[in-house]
Structure 1
């Protein structure tokens, strides 16, 4: 099979995500997603010229190629990714993944527009890209999303603001926080796989102050491993595990006295 035919075969797949159907109409599992992502990355790094040649000969392959451009260091990737940012393109998430590597402050406005995309996956990636770009023009749109009723949106906005402010040397104004009280973090909320889970490393102690996204514990069961991370900044007030360093899906692993940024 030629490399161009291989790219064509990849283009025939659905745009993969956690809820994307696989070739047999079934849900795409984590392992399948990771294997295909690794294949695309290997192809892009080994034969970068093939990607651009394929698009030049057949523009319909552009969506498949776009997914691979995050693995290529080539300025020719930028205009392809920019075309994928337009509303209704259907490949905004793929374009954003590439712009996390190739993007500059010039893309800030287009990425901000993606914060209102219908896809939660696309919106989440847009927050990540804005944090990476570090452009102060994104601060206003991000602050407006701190008060969102959707806790996930508010958390991603807070994370992006934190990254931007670290890049510019500190906040433009003192942040405003909402005390959220104790948050009980369980293994059931950390991963969609059954327990019991074994705590392998990184378990925090009472009294420790953590940032949002910081590792609290590395866990594994008989099939997979995962990480328990802090959804919000705060102070660890309790660590609860059962005998033998094992926790089941419904057992609290960490209690965090959390706070949420609202301004």
Structure 2
């Protein structure tokens, strides 16, 4: 068992709170830092009441991003420690599942495959890893995840199928295009689009349902109240865009962001140009959106 140096838990809590300097000290402390984080994620140890994300509890987006960065940092520094931990105690597999996306090691694959089992409780985490390590051999198991009770898991399964690009996923994806849930239909359409691009074109011409115009703005308050400025406009009127395509690059005095298409469609109006300011209330782009139905 690792001897835990004084201050390791405090450093984990500090990093999850946004202190990047704590990461250097955790790496300097050695593999024990990763073992301690794995123990926290598995609920074996408590690094402190101020670190809900490290205890595997629900956390906000910012906390989750800090946890994701800490996992990548420690796994890339000590990959052997990760595999040693699960070899010693296989019940830790669920805790390390999502970390496996950060390693380039074939030993990750069988662990991820076990995580896809409906009773594993780690399907979403396993899918995150298979987005990196998966092959067409995993298509059938990932398709099974499309019926998971968790919306988060289902969404990730659509994304992984798109990445795998296996034509065998086309039929089950087509069946989900008619779902009453617009989110499910949009995810299925995006996955089909990626697969068909990968295999060199659709097996049959797609069928679209027009959904009407959608006005797009920056979609959130700019940090510190500073308006967004358009640094690069990437679309013109009449342009056909795909789901998730970048329409414009924006920045202010603090950060930069991207305006992306929330679904496929045709640009019918552009009301921005490079250098223009775009606030939350100002329409930047209008899309004639559509939904794939076949």
Q: TM-score, normalised by structure 2?
A: 0.77
In the alignment, is the contact (CA less than 8 A) between 1:241 and 1:251 conserved in 2?
A: no
2:173 is the alignment partner of 1:142: yes
User: Cα–Cα, structure 1 residues 34 and 132, in superposed 2: closer, same or farther, change >3 Å?
Assistant: same
In the alignment, is the contact (CA less than 8 A) between 1:204 and 1:217 conserved in 2?
A: yes
2:50 is the alignment partner of 1:38: no
Q: How many aligned residue pairs are there?
A: 254
| 1:208-232 deviation line (CA, Å, top 9, x unaligned) | 2222211012234576543221122
2:96 is the alignment partner of 1:65: yes
Shift of 1:141: 0.8
Q: How far apart, in 2, do the equivalents of 1:28 and 1:4 lie? A: 21
Larger Rg: 2
Of 184, 200, 206, which residue of structure 2 is paired with 1:169? 200
Identify unmatched segments of 5+ residues in structure 1: 14-20
> Residue 284 of structure 2: SS of its match in structure 1?
strand
Counterpart residue number, 2:291: 260
User: Cα–Cα, structure 1 residues 209 and 226, in superposed 2: closer, same or farther, change >3 Å?
Assistant: same
In the alignment, is the contact (CA less than 8 A) between 1:41 and 1:68 conserved in 2?
A: yes
Counterpart residue number, 1:131: 162
RMSD: 2.7
| 1:121-153 deviation line (CA, Å, top 9, x unaligned) | 211110111011111111011001111222221
> Residue 146 of structure 1: SS of its match in structure 2?
coil
Q: How far apart, in 1, do the equivalents of 2:178 and 2:213 lie? A: 20
Counterpart residue number, 1:85: 116
| 1:70-109 deviation line (CA, Å, top 9, x unaligned) | 1111111111111111114221111001111111222111
Q: How far apart, in 2, do the equivalents of 1:139 and 1:165 lie? A: 9
In the alignment, is the contact (CA less than 8 A) between 2:271 and 2:284 conserved in 1?
A: yes
